[in-house]
């Protein structure tokens, strides 16, 4: 996989590299002892994204980028071409997918958890049409994850809006990475646009960065741990 660095900690893939998503890095057999309430300041720790792979009909090569915030609490993902448009198909239905794997350096003595996912974009749904966003996300090598579903549409009224969707996890749903082990954050996503079965108009949905806002944001939490 070829990685192109743009500034500090920003990178893009110029080739599809699904083998990385499939498990180049795996977790150890033990998570260690994690102090869930420690909430350490990790702004000066050596934490960064060192690899990214993506693939799918909604994110061709060189169309996705990612950046980690300076305080290491969020990772923002930017999409150039992630959209579904019912007019693109003679059947009036369009579905696009994008699967992402982010390799994150985790220093010794720390564990990381994903506590919230945020999505930003735009929908234009005529009366009787339908648009949806589906996602699942988890650490590579772990079977426990989380699923998210959101849909837009009305039988009688158009739905035209920018959207900001926040999926916050309950405490019992939070999964921590093994102590001091690098993590791969995986997200498998899809969007769908269906035109009305009767009537005029086409449906459009985009997870986008038109206003330089990220299309998807990983909200992270860190904890001290003993390996």
The 3-class secondary structure across the chain, one letter per residue, is CCEEECCCCCEEECCCCHHHHCCCCCCCCCCCEEECCCCCCCCCCCCCEEEEEEECCCCCCCCEEEEECCCCCEEEEEECCCEEEHHHCCCCEEEEEEEEEEEECCCCCEEEEEEEEEEEEEEEECCCCEEEEEEEEEECCCCCCEEEEEEECCCCCCEEEEEEEEEECCHHHCCECCCCCCEEEEEEEEEEEECCCCCCCCCEEECCCCCCCCCEEEEEEEEEEEC
How many structural domains comprise the chain? 1
Q: Which domain holds residue 58?
A: 3-226
What pTM, to 2 d.p., does this model score? 0.80
Question: In this predicted model, what pLDDT tens digit does every residue of 5-51 receive, in sequence order?
Answer: 333 333 433 222 222 222 222 233 345 688 877 889 999 999 999 99
- The two tokens of residue 223 are 């904890």
**Across 77-94, average pLDDT:** 94
Question: In this predicted model, what pLDDT tens digit does every residue of 61-80 receive, in sequence order?
Answer: 999 999 999 999 999 999 99
Are 47 and 220 contacting, i.e. CB atoms less than 8 angstroms apart? no
State how far the Cα of 189 lies from the Cα of 158, in Å rounded to an integer.
Answer: 25
Question: In this predicted model, what pLDDT tens digit does every residue of 99-145 receive, in sequence order?
Answer: 999 999 999 999 999 998 999 999 999 999 999 999 998 888 776 67
């Amino acid at each position: 996989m070829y990685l192109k660095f743009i500034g500090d900690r920003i990178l893009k893939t110029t080739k599809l590299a699904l083998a990385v998503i499939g498990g180049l890095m795996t977790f150890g057999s033990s998570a260690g002892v994690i102090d869930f309430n420690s909430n350490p300041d990790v702004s000066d720790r050596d934490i960064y994204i060192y690899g990214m792979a993506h693939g799918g009909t909604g994110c061709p090569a060189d169309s996705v980028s990612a950046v980690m915030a300076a305080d290491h609490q969020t990772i923002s993902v930017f999409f150039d071409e992630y959209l579904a448009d019912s007019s693109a198909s003679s059947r009036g239905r369009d579905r696009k997918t994008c699967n992402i794997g982010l390799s994150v350096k985790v220093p010794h003595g720390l564990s990381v958890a994903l506590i919230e996912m945020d999505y930003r974009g735009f929908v234009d749904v005529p009366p009787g049409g339908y648009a949806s966003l589906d996602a699942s996300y988890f650490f590579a090598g772990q079977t426990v994850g989380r699923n998210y579903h959101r849909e837009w549409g009305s039988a009688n009224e158009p739905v035209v809006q920018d959207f900001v969707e926040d999926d916050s996890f309950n405490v019992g749903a939070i999964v921590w990475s093994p102590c001091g082990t690098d993590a791969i954050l995986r997200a498998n996503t899809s969007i769908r646009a269906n035109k009305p079965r009767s009537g005029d108009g086409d449906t459009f949905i985009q997870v986008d960065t038109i206003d330089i806002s990220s299309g998807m944001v990983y909200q992270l939490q860190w904890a001290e741990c003993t390996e």
